[in-house]
Structure 1
Amino acid sequence: MSLAFTDIVGLEAAKQALLLLAVNPALAGVAIAATVGSGKSTLARAFAALLPEGAPFVELPVNVTEDRLLGGLDLEATLATGARAIERGLLARAHGGVLYADGLNLLDRSIVAHLMEALASGVVRVEREGLSAAHPARFVLVGAYDPSDGEVPRGLLDRIGLIVPFAPQTDARLRAEVVRRNQLRKGEAEAGALPSASSRLRNEAADDETHMLRAMIADARARLPHVRVHDEQVQALIQAALSLGVEGNRADVFAAQAALAKAALDGRDRVDDDDLRLAVRLVLLPRATRLPEANESYQAQDEQPRAPEEPGRSERDEPNGAPQVQSEQLEALLLSAAEAELPKDVLNLPFAMQQRGRSGSRGAALNNRRGRFVRAVEGDPHGNRIALLQTLVAAAPWQAVRRAGTRSSAQLAIRKEDIRIKRFRDKAGMLYIFAVDASGSMAINRMREAKGAAIRLLQDAYVHRDQVALIAFRGGRAQVLLQPSQSVERAKRELDVLPTGGGTPLASALLTAWELAQQARGRGIAQVTLVLMTDGRANVGLDSQASADKAGLQREIQQLAALLRAHGVRAIVIDTQANYLSRGEAPKLAEWLGGRYVYLPNARAEQIAKALT
């Protein structure tokens, strides 16, 4: 039998946070930091029993795919009808209830982005592979994580109201009680299927407590719209947030909502000081980025002359029943309580750690075998992993035609053109080196179109947070216009002013690209892709002798291409030569590089961008 919410020993702050969330869904979620084996997952699942009747409790696996998260094609219905049918994902299934994620800090970045969007909008949108749908997805998020495994993304923490920071369990009595209860349950389980009388009594007591908590939560939910928080109390929360270095306005709203939920749960219609203290503890303190200043300001407040009281009026009462306490006094009260709970090193709090260590995220590398599956493309199944679902989707509309004339109506006919292979994105960085031919022959052969295609490719690389370098080659040698960077604007400026004319030092471009690739590997960038935009008509070598000898120039280029290929540099050659002028130089260059060949004059920039995948 699973443990009841009240049976779980310890984790008191987490229990308080979950009860507030059950009362007030406007808090959006709870993030619980605790070590492995602390009972955080057991507590979250026990929380499901406190939800209103019919409210879903959906678990989000750490390795969840985007298809399962957002929803996608209902394969069985699609194959049966020949028309695409959409299946709801986990976000939509959690609508009206709880989405539980254990390992919140281990979720993939794209999954976190979809989760943040659903929390903000309350809707999950499916726009992929010809599918288009929108499902309601208003849920509260209960997340648990072990801080030793890394940080939870700042943006996700910013969208949920309650954060329970890590606190090591140092109470020996509580730990002993956990062991005692575990041994008791283990002994009863080994004794046989029939529970003892004492076990039945404990289970009945736990059921009674669960029913009582559900009734309390239901009553608090009904009371919540009528609970009032005074302006001075809100001002005190805001000032406390500023003193603790809490950024953004969401925290202020969440703090007020937490105080309202606590008052409703206690059966009151007005917020009091204890409610504010709990809001500071669960909302503001975990977001603190600095210690509050010394208490001189509070002492100065006490020395200020007090306004005379009106006859017959209590010091703490107003006609409307709101407490007559200055926001400065409340702020001092809240900060004094906060200081008592702040860790000695405030930089260990999650928001302070992320503020201290902020840095741009590196892109991920596309590859054929490992990492996170990001898309399916047409391709050869040999040496690649087949995307089965996408292959069936491509084949489904043609089944009626293909079955015609066959004996078995149940036979599934899949052809070569239906095959889709998987593309993955791993955590290693990727560098795109754009080498643009600016020679005289290139100026004749659609330099403007080449620049447009390059800009589109740069933008696509930026979306995936990849780094970009830009090489131009003309005259006697190649030149690095842009060192590896994520700035599309800088690359666009360099392309806009790129001069043209002169010889075609293709060998120098290949050597420069190899040098950039080696430097990138030294910085830990795992994969490098060279995008060559050229007509392939080289006429300038690394030295004057090679330039004079056409065969020697060809050998030089062939050797450099083999060097790039041997070092694992992926290559894409975009041919800018008109068909009637072409002698097959660019296709031959792509062959030497072991890369992909794309013909620019017959392709739009969008089509060329797909070559990067």
Structure 2
Amino acid sequence: MTGALADALIAASLLARSPAALGGLCLRGGGPARDVVLDALHNLLPDPTPFRRLPGHIDDDRLSGGTDIAASLAAGTVVLQRGLLQDVRGGVLVVPMAERLRSDIAGRVAQAMDDGQGFVLVLLDDGTEADERPPPALMERITFDLRLDSVRAADLAVVLPDRVEPLASPSLDQEVLKALATIAEALGVTSMRPLLQAAAAACAHAALAGRGSTEMADVEAAARLVLASRATRLPPDPEAPPPAPPEDEAQESESHDDPEDGESLPELPEDLLIEAARAAIPPDVLNLIASGRATRSAHGGGAGRRARSGLRGKSLGARPGMPGGGARLALVDTLRAAIPWQPLRQREPVPIGAGPIRFRRDDLRVRRFEERSATVTVFSVDASGSAALSRLAEAKGAVELILAQAYVKRSEVALVAFRGEGAELLLPPTRSLTRAKRALGALPGGGGTPLADGIAMARQVADAVAARGRTPMLVFLTDGSANIAADRSRGRARAQDDAQRAARALAAAGYDAVVIDISPRPRPEAARLAQAMRARYLPLPLADAKALKTAVSLVSTPERTPSRPGA
């Protein structure tokens, strides 16, 4: 059995032993291995434990309970129906494709968990990108976040753990809690919730082993299963010498270490535990730490900005409002709002033309949808100088790789090249791979570096993209060194000033951007350019097309700014 599957089965055993304290788990990928873990959890829980799946299209009344429209119309009075959250009380709620769960549904599930409705939450994450994760509101309420991608078919023939009667919760030693806090601090876990979850996991692990108190084996398991997946930084190198304490503190510590006082308590092997937690950090978390984006996000990478719509997109439920102007009537929600008032309204005088159900203006509900705008990645490439050939080869390969995913991510690509006396739009926004290859094949190189013109041209393209309701993402491939000013005159000092001015104008426009330093060694000019345009700075001197495409994907998640309700 692989380590990933073994850890998942251990997590299922701990969860079955302490469901209220541990909350649930998230299983990423795995296919048949995921079914093995779910079967193990089902066998470990007492009979009969309800297992329910959360449909992706569920509405508020089916989730939380509400008015049964058909029964109420037939009975002439309000008939309430139970919701899924009431049906799953004391059981397990499984959420398939949790990375696509709507934020309003996630909020209601999180509220139910906080209210103590007593169910175990299992999130099934099928996201393929690092940023495609379940909603943070649910991830922070469950203890385990496990990957099953590395499980092989030969490892699936496992013996499921046996059901064990719950034992009394073992005591948590203060040294164990201190060790967990030290590990959490080393991994950059600043929230108290994961630390409390790790402590609960350590107690459950001790109970699973039949111990009355926690030991170092329980701490190691809690650090591996709970804290490693939440790391936001790598622990410090244990081989680096610690800083020397001040002389007064050193003298004070020497006075306390008097051998006449007897031997001190043995210290826990925290360095070994930190190294074990470091080795258990998932690869995707390591990549996010390396890119400076270890904080998880629930949105898919490279997706466009969200915009409210009354006609199409993902349903957000209904809201009070008048139909018209692009807003459509939500009939079922309107009936649901009007039915509770019918007993009172039936006593009023019957207006002319009134039907069996009497509506008021406040009962009307209209549909709400949310759609994402298409994204356009605008490459602005420095095609000047002797290194142009290698830079252009990288840009060509990255553009082709990104275009290969264009239809999946609703993204387009544009290409601006600046060289000689100015900048030129070589490839307008397109999703056509054939057109891109044709334009890239004719991309020239050599000459001066009109960096200011390149930034200005990229901004013009971004303005045109934004005017069509799309989301621009600007990527500059340059070393930041300019020698052609905005007025076509030569001179490094003036050219650098013009480039800084153009960068500040781009920052004022509010576009998301990244500056990729492709010089052989990182240059301060490129870093200053990124700072001026409030963009991410990424030194990538030895990039190939695949590395460049990966870098752009990691930084191309623009901020989401939903419009006001009803817009």
TM bucket (normalised to shorter chain) is 0.5 to 0.7
1:327-370 Cα offsets, whole Å, 9 max, x none, are xx431121122233335674336998754677999553131344
1:213 pairs with 2:162: yes
Q: Distance in 2 between matches of 1:352 and 1:22?
A: 36
1:52-80 Cα offsets, whole Å, 9 max, x none, are 23432221123322332222212244224
1:228 counterpart SS class = coil
1:159 counterpart SS class = coil
Q: Is the 8 A contact 1:429 1:524 kept in 2?
A: yes
Q: Distance in 1 between matches of 2:243 and 2:312?
A: 66
Aligned counterpart for 1:262 among listed residues 205, 227, 231:
205
1:33 pairs with 2:28: yes
- In the TM superposition, what is the alpha-carbon distance from 1:274 to its structure 2 partner? 1.1
Which has the higher mean CA deviation after the structures are superposed, 390-399 or 54-63? 390-399
Q: Is the 8 A contact 1:287 1:349 kept in 2?
A: no
- In the TM superposition, what is the alpha-carbon distance from 1:249 to its structure 2 partner? 0.8
Aligned counterpart for 1:223 among listed residues 144, 158, 168:
168
Paired residues, number: 367
2:317 counterpart SS class = strand
Aligned to 2:218: 275
Aligned to 1:175: 153
1:491-526 Cα offsets, whole Å, 9 max, x none, are xxxxxxxxxxxxxxxxxxxxxxxxx99774346269
Aligned to 2:317: 374
1:11 counterpart SS class = helix
Aligned counterpart for 2:467 among listed residues 521, 530, 537:
521
1:77-100 Cα offsets, whole Å, 9 max, x none, are 422443333323222222222211
2:168 counterpart SS class = helix
Letter in 2 for 1:104: A
1:200-225 Cα offsets, whole Å, 9 max, x none, are xxxxxx9xx87x822x1x2xx3322x
1:140 pairs with 2:115: no
Alignment CA distance shift 1:373-1:253 (3 Å)? closer
Q: Is the 8 A contact 2:285 2:294 kept in 1?
A: no
Aligned to 2:276: 337
Alignment CA distance shift 1:389-1:159 (3 Å)? same
1:271 counterpart SS class = coil
Aligned to 2:178: 235
Q: Is the 8 A contact 1:165 1:349 kept in 2?
A: no
Q: Is the 8 A contact 1:369 1:384 kept in 2?
A: no
Q: Is the 8 A contact 1:347 1:353 kept in 2?
A: no
Q: Is the 8 A contact 2:67 2:81 kept in 1?
A: yes
Aligned counterpart for 1:102 among listed residues 96, 101, 104:
96
Alignment CA distance shift 1:298-1:115 (3 Å)? farther
Alignment CA distance shift 1:309-1:343 (3 Å)? farther
Letter in 1 for 2:206: A
Alignment CA distance shift 1:388-1:11 (3 Å)? farther
Which has the higher mean CA deviation after the structures are superposed, 59-68 or 350-359? 350-359
Q: Is the 8 A contact 1:60 1:100 kept in 2?
A: yes
Aligned counterpart for 1:60 among listed residues 54, 57, 64:
54
Q: Distance in 2 between matches of 1:63 and 1:269?
A: 46
1:114-513 matches, cutoff 5 A: 114-122=108-116, 137-148=117-128, 150-165=132-147, 167-169=149-151, 174-176=152-154, 178=156, 213-214=162-163, 216=164, 218=165, 221-224=166-169, 227-296=170-239, 324-326=265-267, 329-342=268-281, 346-348=285-287, 355=294, 363-377=306-320, 387-393=330-336, 396=339, 398=342, 422-428=366-372
1:553-602 Cα offsets, whole Å, 9 max, x none, are xxxxxxxxxxxxxxxxxxxxxxxxxxxxxxxxxxxxxxxxxxxxxxxxxx
Structure with more contact order per residue of length (Cα contacts < 8 Å, sep ≥ 6): 2
User: For structure 1, which runs of at least 5 residues remain unmatched after alignment?
Assistant: 1-5, 123-136, 182-205, 316-323, 406-410, 431-515, 527-608
Letter in 2 for 1:365: R
Alignment CA distance shift 1:522-1:141 (3 Å)? same
1:213 counterpart SS class = coil
Q: Distance in 1 between matches of 2:47 and 2:464?
A: 61
1:371-401 Cα offsets, whole Å, 9 max, x none, are 2142155656999765342243356455995
Q: Is the 8 A contact 1:381 1:419 kept in 2?
A: no
Q: Which has the higher helix share?
A: 1
Q: Distance in 2 between matches of 1:9 and 1:297?
A: 30
User: For structure 2, which runs of at least 5 residues remain unmatched after alignment?
Assistant: 245-252, 375-461, 473-562
Q: Is the 8 A contact 1:277 1:337 kept in 2?
A: yes
Alignment CA distance shift 1:233-1:417 (3 Å)? closer
Aligned to 1:478: none
Alignment CA distance shift 1:147-1:13 (3 Å)? farther
Identity score, percent: 31
Alignment CA distance shift 1:267-1:32 (3 Å)? same
1:44 counterpart SS class = helix
> If the length of structure 2 is used for normalisation, what is the TM-score?
0.54
- In the TM superposition, what is the alpha-carbon distance from 1:46 to its structure 2 partner? 4.7
Q: Is the 8 A contact 1:58 1:94 kept in 2?
A: yes
Q: Distance in 1 between matches of 2:274 and 2:17?
A: 26
> If the length of structure 1 is used for normalisation, what is the TM-score?
0.51
1:148-170 Cα offsets, whole Å, 9 max, x none, are 0512233322221122145523x
Alignment CA distance shift 1:288-1:88 (3 Å)? same
Larger Rg: 1
Letter in 1 for 2:134: V
Letter in 1 for 2:315: R
Q: Is the 8 A contact 1:165 1:286 kept in 2?
A: no
2:52 counterpart SS class = strand
Q: Distance in 2 between matches of 1:267 and 1:111?
A: 39
Alignment CA distance shift 1:333-1:518 (3 Å)? closer
Q: Distance in 2 between matches of 1:59 and 1:611?
A: 30
Letter in 2 for 1:30: L
